[in-house]
Amino acid sequence: MDEFEKDLIKGLSKKNKVIPSKYHYDYQGSKYFEKITRQKEYYPTRKEKEILKKIKNKIPKMFKGNLAFCEIGSGAEDKIKILINENVKLYFPIDISKKFIINASKKLKKIHPRLIIKPIIADYNKPFSLKKFNNNFTKIFFFLGSSIGNFHPNDDVKFLKNLSKCMDKKSYLFVGVDLIKKQSIINKAYNDKAGYTAKFSLNLINIINKKFKCGLDINNFFYKGVYNKRKKSLQGFLISKVKQSFKIGSKKITLKKNEKTQVEVSNKFTPKSFISLVNRGNFKFISYWTDKQGYFGLFLLKK
């Protein structure tokens, strides 16, 4: 039984069914995510880019000498390319979506032909090796796109602790964080009018069908994103329109009519709650920047 099968059986056997969000990202899933980031309602990408453009000129002053950038859950090249300057000699994008990051790396190489790019296909929840890093370079890690919000309780602390083990005392980490704001703005962002968030989530059904030959009909599901104010978290659900059963390996799964499966978690933070999280994850807070409206934060951390 592989990890996907184990995770599906575990998550779909729970009272409140859940599927880990990392399984969204086959090539099609990554393409849908890219579409989401271009929707008017989806403020996180726009706001984070605004901050990156604001700090762009500070990077050469803050970090001198040769630099190696390592971007975790990198996806598209459009954010990191804002920050790359001539001191950046090496770039390691780490992502599970193989074809997508290979393509993104090729696009970046065209813009920066002298930059050495080494894509690493890996699950960032597992310890990954960065042996290829040159020790004389200052290493700057990036975890953008509010991916730090995509963990279920305590998994974020575990992730940060693992990451800190891969970093030395001279390394830095930038994290993009979605800040708490008016509920209606968050709900709109995760229920875009054009329906790309829905397509992105429903694509999971295609991925499951392809792997487990379940024959599930995508039309028997719909997507809804709901902000839970108490948990300070956007929860994305696939809701079954009918009672239906299918098999994951030898395990029979039944979904009741209107039963929800959580397929997305996107936790929101205040600067204070985020700093408290990173301290638990063995990081020290150095500084942070926000966009004009204070929707999004970019935090600089050190081990």
Ligand X SMILES: C[S@@+](CC[C@H](N)C(=O)[O-])C[C@H]1O[C@@H](n2cnc3c(N)ncnc32)[C@H](O)[C@@H]1O
Q: Which residue lies nearer to ligand X by CB, 98 or 251? A: 98
Tally of CA atoms within 13 A in the half-sphere of 224 that contains its CB:
12
Q: Which residue lies nearer to ligand X by CB, 37 or 201? A: 37
220: its two tokens: 């028997």
CA atoms of 32 and 30, how far apart (whole Å): 5
CA atoms of 208 and 219, how far apart (whole Å): 15
Supply the minimum distance, in Å, between the C-beta of residue 107 and ligand X.
14
Supply the minimum distance, in Å, between the C-beta of residue 145 and ligand X.
2
Q: Which residue lies nearer to ligand X by CB, 95 or 291? A: 95
Q: Which residue lies nearer to ligand X by CB, 28 or 138? A: 28
CA atoms of 24 and 29, how far apart (whole Å): 6
Supply the minimum distance, in Å, between the C-beta of residue 97 and ligand X.
4
Q: Which of 213, 214, 269, 263 is nearest to 239 (CA)?
A: 263
Identify the H or E element spanning 175: strand 172-178
Q: Which residue lies nearer to ligand X by CB, 78 or 259? A: 78
Supply the minimum distance, in Å, between the C-beta of residue 265 and ligand X.
11
Q: Which residue lies nearer to ligand X by CB, 22 or 109? A: 22
Q: Which of 244, 178, 185, 232 is nearest to 17 (CA)?
A: 244
Supply the minimum distance, in Å, between the C-beta of residue 273 and ligand X.
20
Q: Which of 99, 85, 83 is nearest to 25 (CA)?
A: 99
Q: Which residues contact 219 (CB under 8 A, 6 or more apart)?
A: 241
Supply the minimum distance, in Å, between the C-beta of residue 17 and ligand X.
19
101 with 119: CB under 8 angstroms?
A: yes
Supply the minimum distance, in Å, between the C-beta of residue 142 and ligand X.
8
Q: What 3-state class would DSSP assign to 151?
A: coil
Supply the minimum distance, in Å, between the C-beta of residue 147 and ligand X.
5
Taking the CB of residue 82, how many other CB atoms lie within 10 A of it? Answer: 16
225 with 236: CB under 8 angstroms?
A: yes
Binding positions for ligand X, rule: CB under 6 A: 22, 25, 30, 33, 37, 45, 73-75, 79, 95-97, 123-125, 144-145, 147
Letter string b/e over residues 89-116, b meaning 16 or more CB atoms within 10 A of that residue's CB: ebbbbbbbbeebbebbbeebeeebeebe
Phi and psi at residue 279, in whole multiples of 5°? -65, -40
Among all residues, whose Cβ is closest to ligand X? 145
Q: Which residue lies nearer to ligand X by CB, 149 or 261? A: 149
Q: Which residue lies nearer to ligand X by CB, 204 or 255? A: 204
